[in-house]
Amino acid sequence: MSQPTEIKQTVVIQNASADEVFEALTDPKKFADVTGKPYDGEAAVGKEFKAYDGSCIGSHLALQRGKWVRQHWRMSYWPSDIISTCSFVLKDVHGGCEIDFTQTGFPADELKNLSEGWHTYYWKPLMEYFSNEQPKKKVQQAQEDKHAVCHFDIPATNFERAQKFYSEVFGWKFTSWQPEYALWQTGATRHNINGGMVKVDRVESGERQAVFAHISTHDMHATVEKVRAAGCKIVKEPFEIAPGV
């Protein structure tokens, strides 16, 4: 009976998202960071790549960030007419990213070598990298989020004209939330500060008339007490603007 030429493996990379694992598998710099070995290539369909000093070579067949990576893949010493197909299906699960991996079309006598190699040269480096990265990400997250400006409101007397101006000039995207209030976004990254636009009769100093900055905190009540202790007056007690917010 001939030996099977298919490998199926499922692993979970703790502390990593599907987006992060996708990047680690396809981005040259991130792959090198994870494995400690050079990776030449480009994360684009049809583009060729070389990993582990050129011992693994192939090309990208299909890429969907955070979803899947499909590649032609071969060892450099294989005959040139033998090219296997690798599929990495990515899924966010509790605590990490699940990878459902399948490889087909390789020489039968490479089954043991490849089965062990994926664990040694891919899954283990990924697990170790994201295990080490987690404390760094927590510290970075805390530093970025601790009492940072996270949202601010802009007053406008002509609601429609103001939205048109900011959309056309700066590319902001507006979403109506209330009849006289719209949320705006400047971009897709977590680091961008977004906010809202409020319709007013006139623009002057005073509540709901001037630009309002919102500062993030993980403990609203403790922050309010610090404000009071600093000798400031609380004009309005904390309240929910939406469930849980």
**Quick count: other Cβ atoms within 10 Å of Cβ 51?**
22
Task: Report whether 135 contacts 141 (CB < 8 A).
Answer: no
Q: Which residues contact 143 (CB under 8 A, 6 or more apart)?
A: none
At residue 141, the pLDDT reads: 54
Is the pLDDT at 190 greater than 90, yes or no?
A: no
Q: What confidence score (pLDDT) does residue 211 get?
A: 67
Nearest to 209 by CA among 155, 245, 159, 173: 155
Q: Residue 169's pLDDT is what? A: 76
> Does residue 79 register a pLDDT over 70?
yes
22 Cβ neighbours under 8 A, 6+ residues apart? 63, 65, 66, 67, 69, 90
Half-sphere exposure of 17 (CA within 13 A, CB side): 6
Q: What is the pLDDT of residues 84-127, one digit of tens each?
A: 999 999 999 988 999 999 999 999 999 999 999 999 999 999 99
Residue 12: which pLDDT band, with cuts at 50, 70 and 90? very high
